[in-house]
Copies of this chain bind each other. A is one copy, B any other.
Amino acid sequence: MTEKTGTLYGVGVGPGDPELLTLKAVRLIEAADVVAFFAKKDRPGHAFRITGDRISKSAISMRLEYPYTTEIPVDNPKYRAAMANFYDTSAAMIATHLREGRNVAVLCEGDPFLYGSFIYLFDRLEEFTCEVIPGVTAMAGCWAEAAAPMTRGTDVLNIVPGTLDEDQLTSRLTGADAAVIMKVGRNLPKIQRALARAGLADRAVYVERGTQKESKIERLSEKTDEPAPYFSLVLVPGENPSA
């Protein structure tokens, strides 16, 4: 008995509001034989929360639980080894389904190819047919909700992970017309210092859980010392004059 190999789908599910799923994402999630999603220990998984009720009752659900998220620093060798092993194991499980002819949809918050964990599966599953369905990014959800037009005309937009060190952050932000700082979380104080050094602190807007019910938007300069969740963002909208 030979079976046709399945297709791997990396499905962007958008920033949080289930209505920001695309028609294509809905169609593929509803039809998938296997639906995989990443989740933090003891959490339902953000992508799963967005799409949960779209998954077919007959689909095989595959929860991929990160060994670590923010418990230890990303440059700790123990972190790296555990994550590499986690992606190897996850990719092997998905490969088994694909070889047995089942289509596998991997749910991806935002867009799969912009800092997505999906990339590490894609890198390991090159031998299979893969289609990526782009999604509304977290940052686009946040700047829409903040009513903050980001770039006009010749503005350059720099997208910078908050996990860089303070000097790197400062140099990547200096001279930016507009910027988005991702992966804020515990990096917030460092980000605030880098923005001040780059002369951008006054324009920065903090957005937490954009497009979700519990969203919060405030000027970064007015933010008190409360901790920020990992999926918060800082926006620095461009200042190019209107046409």
Given known A-B contacts A20-B24, A24-B20, A134-B141, A157 and B158 have beta carbons under 8 A apart: yes
* List of B residues within 8 angstroms of A15 by Cβ: 134
Chain A, 73-119, CB within 8 A of any chain B CB? 74, 80, 83-84, 87, 111-116, 119
State whether the Cβ of A123 lies closer than 8 Å to any Cβ in chain B.
yes
Chain B residue with the shortest CB-CB distance to A87:
B243
Q: Would A115 and B152 count as touching, CB distance under 8 A? A: yes
Interface string of A18-49 (1 = CB under 8 A from B): 11111110110000000000000000000000
Partner of A157, one of B114, B140, B152: B114
> A206 in the interface, Cβ–Cβ < 8 Å?
no
Interface residue total, chain A, C-beta cutoff 8 A: 62
Q: B140 and A111: CB pair below 8 A?
A: yes
Oligomer copy total: 2
Cβ A74 vs Cβ B157 within 8 A: no
Q: Which residues of B have CB within 8 Å of A119?
A: 149, 152, 242
- Kindly list chain B residues whose C-beta atoms are within 8 Å of the C-beta of A141: 134
Nearest residue, chain B, Cβ from A172: B156
B243 contacts A150, CB within 8 Å? no
Task: Give the most central of A17, A134, A144: most B CB within 10 Å.
Answer: A134
Interface residues of A in 127-141 (CB under 8 A from B): 130, 132-137, 140-141
What is the CA–CA distance of A23 and B24 in the complex, to the nearest angstrom? 10
Interface flag for A6 (CB, 8 Å): no
Q: Give the shortest distance, in Å, between A193 (CB) and chain B (any CB).
A: 18
- Chain B residues, Cβ within 8 Å of A113: 140, 143-144, 148-151
Docked-complex contact A159 and B156, CB < 8 angstroms: yes
Closest Cβ neighbor of A180 among chain B residues: B157
